[in-house]
Amino acid sequence: MAIGVQSAEIQEHFNKLFTSILLEQQKYDHIKPADEDKKELLASKLKEYEQLKGRGFFYQFMASGKGHGPFVEMIDGSIKYDLINGIGVNLLGHSHPIYIKANLEAATSDTMMTGNLLSYQEPYELSKVLIEAVKKSPLRHFWFSCSGSFANDTALKILWQKKAPNYRLIAFQKSFAGRSIAMQDVTYNPAYREGMPNSIPVDHVPHYNYQDPNNALKNTLQALDNLIKNNGNIYCAITIELIQGEAGFIFGTKEYYTGIFKWAKAHGLYVWIDEVQSFARTHQLFAYQMFGLDKYVDIVTVGKVLQACGTFYSEELNPKPGLIAGTFNGSVASMNAGKAIVRYLLEGNFYGENGRIKELENKFKDHFHRLSTSSCKGKIPYYGGVGTMLSFEVGDASLELTNKFMKKLFENGIITFSAGKEPTRIRFLLPLALLDEHIQEIFSILEKTILEVI
Ligand SMILES: Cc1ncc(COP(=O)(O)O)c(C=O)c1O
């Protein structure tokens, strides 16, 4: 512990608290139905919260702050497998020692949030760890933001300043870039910007077509060429999620991405990769590293698993003073956790072909193969994905049926979320804390639910 106030007494309390909290949290290690006497509490709190928010929730879910590994408890006492973890935030699993420690350490500090004007040690140390992790690429700087959307806005501003007046951007169909005024235009789904004025110029080209892999690159390059032919080269950059999260995990190959990035460089466009969802979840810390694309990346955005958000950029893209700033970097606890998470992941056996993430992916795919060729034959038309980003379809993969299925799955003890439209997929953003016995149980519940609903 190197931050905030320190003394032998604090250290002693710290050690005791850390142990007691972990021991208490570890009790939440199996699924269980709601307590009869607490059902009403959950229903009434959610109803009130829905009033406050002005809209309903998809799941009857309000967490109690208790949970361990893949398990999370709700305020009605029910415990479920959390396989979506806050849309991809808790990669390490609930009440991971790193989270507990980061919070306790932050409590010894004199502040809650760190910011840009008067710096603290935590953002400095996290930046060092992050820049070290990207040293094989041209990325040299990291700037904090308080959301993935704002990290993307920062990326766009940096690119615009460098390429002014070439403000037009190339993005991909089915992409998701966030909810800010700029990012709602980069995001492909028009339903997410209903009633909004068009604020930034973006053209969307097709992403990798996994149903026609032989022509995927040719078709994307053709669409890119057409843009330049029709509009002239008025573009600043190409932005892409290598693994499209909200689309249900659509991703291409190294050759596909290399072809696109070579095209971008040949036309003087910067390569901006959105890793807000994919960061830390594939076979390397960054998906661009997994695909061996280090030399092409000019700007990369991250969030979620890091517990903080931000933008990496090259020396060439370092913006002029005044362009990017803001009050907050993030909380002391999140900076602290971010540093420990990156170190833990890089020092542990998580990445590479023999790493834990690949092993987890293989186990899930083996179970899906078994189910889809036996008891659930014809009911799982698709399963796939990479690393801890896996998805599958059930029945006709319609939105209606998929929603019904997910709600039943929730009732039966597993939390997931959907992605994509026609087909709609059920998405897992898996925590690393899954043991074989958990995976067995998860697939028994999946099998039971598929047979109940489909
Ligand atoms: C690829 C991608 N980019 C950007 C964002 C936006 O991040 P945030 O919700 O933190 O603003 C998300 C969020 O899901 C995302 O998946």
For 234-268, what is each residue's pLDDT tens digit?
A: 999 999 999 999 999 999 999 999 999 999 999 99
Buried b vs exposed e over 334-356: b needs ≥16 C-beta within 10 Å?
bbbbbbbbbebbeeeebbeeebb
Mean residue pLDDT across the chain: 97
SS (H, E, C) 165-214: CCCEEEEECCCCCCCCCCHHHHCCCHHHHCCCCCCCCEEEECCCCCCCHH
pLDDT digit string, tens, across residues 340-360: 999 999 999 999 999 999 999
Find the domain containing 35 and state its range: 31-90+353-453
Cα(63) to ligand 1 centroid in Å equals 22
Pocket test for ligand 1, best of 149, 192, 307, 328 (most atoms within 8 A of CB): 149
Element (H, E) at 329: strand 328-331
Could you give the dihedral angle defined by the CA atoms of residues 369, 370, 373 and 375, in that order, rounded to the nearest 10 degrees? -140
Cβ neighbours for 373, distance < 8 A, ≥ 6 positions apart: none
Q: What is the C-alpha separation between 303 and 145, in angstroms, rounded?
A: 9
Q: Do the domain assignments include residue 103?
A: no
Q: Are 221 and 341 within one domain?
A: yes
Q: What local confidence, expressed as pLDDT, does residue 176 receive?
A: 97
Q: Give the percent of the chain with pLDDT over 70.
A: 100
Would you list the DSSP string of 421-435?
SSS-EEEEE--S---
Q: Are 176 and 223 within one domain?
A: yes
pLDDT digit string, tens, across residues 22-33: 999 999 999 999
Nearest residue CA, atom 10 of ligand 1? 148
Identify residue 416 by its one-letter amino acid code. Answer: T
**pLDDT confidence of 421, banded at 50, 70, 90?**
confident
Cα(177) to ligand 1 centroid in Å equals 6
Q: Do the domain assignments include residue 438?
A: yes
Q: What local confidence, expressed as pLDDT, does residue 3 receive?
A: 79
Instruction: Specify whether the CB–CB gap between 84 and 442 falls below 8 A.
Output: no
Q: What is the C-alpha separation between 404 and 56, in angstroms, rounded?
A: 16
For range 325-334, the mean pLDDT: 95
For residue 110, CA distances in Å to 1, 3, 4, 120, 430 come to: 14, 9, 6, 11, 35
Q: Do the domain assignments include residue 8?
A: no
For range 34-41, the mean pLDDT: 95
Supply the CATH number for residue 410's domain. 3.90.1150.10
Q: Are 134 and 180 within one domain?
A: yes
Q: Do the domain assignments include residue 185?
A: yes
Instruction: Specify whether the CB–CB gap between 339 and 125 falls below 8 A.
Output: yes
Q: Pick from 319, 347, 375: which residue ends a domain?
A: 347
Q: Are 364 and 416 within one domain?
A: yes
Q: Are 225 and 282 within one domain?
A: yes
With a 6 Å cutoff on the Cβ, whether 82 touches ligand 1 is no
Q: Are 376 and 421 within one domain?
A: yes
For range 373-401, the mean pLDDT: 98
Q: Do the domain assignments include residue 99?
A: no
Cα(315) to ligand 1 centroid in Å equals 25
Q: What is the C-alpha separation between 149 and 181, in angstroms, rounded?
A: 9
Supply the CATH number for residue 145's domain. 3.40.640.10
Provide the token pair at 91: 């990669």
With a 6 Å cutoff on the Cβ, whether 239 touches ligand 1 is no
β-bridge partners, 274: 301
β-bridge partners, 271: 238
Nearest to 427 by CA among 285, 281, 247: 247
Q: Pick from 347, 370, 396: which residue ends a domain?
A: 347
Question: Is residue 9 predicted with pLDDT exceeding 60?
Answer: yes
Q: Do the domain assignments include residue 126?
A: yes
Q: Are 276 and 172 within one domain?
A: yes
Q: Do the domain assignments include residue 394?
A: yes
Q: Are 318 and 190 within one domain?
A: yes
Q: Do the domain assignments include residue 160?
A: yes
pLDDT digit string, tens, across residues 312-327: 999 999 999 999 999 9
pLDDT digit string, tens, across residues 296-312: 999 999 999 999 999 99
With a 6 Å cutoff on the Cβ, whether 330 touches ligand 1 is no
Cα(277) to ligand 1 centroid in Å equals 6
Question: Is residue 431 predicted with pLDDT exceeding 70?
Answer: yes
385 backbone dihedrals φ, ψ, rounded to 5°: 120, -170
For range 73-90, the mean pLDDT: 97
The DSSP letter of residue 276 is T
Question: Is residue 449 predicted with pLDDT exceeding 70?
Answer: yes
Q: Are 235 and 376 within one domain?
A: no
Q: Give the percent of the chain with pLDDT over 90.
A: 98
Question: Is residue 1 predicted with pLDDT exceeding 60?
Answer: no
For range 429-438, the mean pLDDT: 98
Q: What local confidence, expressed as pLDDT, does residue 2 receive?
A: 66
Q: Are 134 and 72 within one domain?
A: no
Number of domains in the chain: 2
With a 6 Å cutoff on the Cβ, whether 274 touches ligand 1 is yes
pLDDT digit string, tens, across residues 157-209: 999 999 999 999 999 999 999 999 999 999 999 999 999 999 999 999 999 99
Q: What local confidence, expressed as pLDDT, does residue 188 receive?
A: 97
pLDDT digit string, tens, across residues 49-70: 999 999 999 999 999 999 999 9
Q: Specify the higher pLDDT residue, 421 or 384.
A: 384
For residue 373, CA distances in Å to 369, 376, 377 come to: 6, 7, 5
For range 111-125, the mean pLDDT: 94
Q: Pick from 347, 380, 399: which residue ends a domain?
A: 347
Q: Are 284 and 143 within one domain?
A: yes
Instruction: Specify whether the CB–CB gap between 205 and 220 falls below 8 A.
Output: yes
Q: Are 206 and 241 within one domain?
A: yes
